[in-house]
Amino acid sequence: MAAGPDALSLFTAIGLSEPKARETLKNEALSALLREAVTQAQGILGPNVDKATGTLLYNVASRLKDQKRLCFLVGCITSKKIVTDLQLSAALEYVRSHPLDPIDTADFEQECGVGVVVTPEQIEEAVEAAVNKHRAELLSERYHFNMGLLMGESAAQAGQGVGLRGGDLCAVLHGVDQEVPPPQCVPWLCSLPPCWAHSLCF
């Protein structure tokens, strides 16, 4: 069993809170797989694993079905080929649907959006296309329109469904704001994370 003070320290060192780490230790299979993932990552990166990487390692350990793919996915995470949860979800789906060796690395990276860089121009074009698509509804429904749908379509088109980072998503929100200026502190907007809403609720 992967319990004990060493495992607890290992899990908190990658950014898990102590309660979350203790909860993880209660699940023998998860804690063993996470310990293996962290150990592999430390073998590549050294003893200090940043919180963002630690979160991805936890997510891969908790969601991976085929454990023989652990080493491959940890390698993708530590090499920064996989940097977002969207990319990780695509990676997990890819290895699930491609159980046989060898993995076609080029196809895998394309499907997971590895190396995708979204430019401000692409975001602007995606937002404009989404707004134009729903312009009639926007004009008739005004601020009752589901802005989450607008943002989701903009983000998906700009990032081909994967690869958008937090900063890119904030840029999408800013683009939507420019196209559809919100009134003061719209309820749906004020419920967003601070990085999205802090400059828009006033």
**pLDDT per position as a tens digit, 82-116:** 988 888 988 999 999 999 999 999 999 988 888 87
Interior angle at CA 166, CA 157 and CA 199, nearest 5: 105
Provide mean pLDDT across the span 73-83. 95
What's the mean pLDDT in 150-157? Answer: 71
Tell which phi-psi region holds residue 201, choosing left (phi > 0), alpha (psi between -120 and 50) or beta. Answer: beta
131 pLDDT more than 90: no
Residue 150 predicted with pLDDT over 80: no
Q: Is the pTM of this model over 0.85?
A: no
Instruction: Catalogue all structural domains in the chain, each as residue range(s) with its CATH number.
Output: 5-111 (1.10.8.1290), 120-197 (no CATH)
How high is the pLDDT of residue 145? 75
Rounded to a whole number of angstroms, the distance between the first and last alpha carbons of the chain is: 52
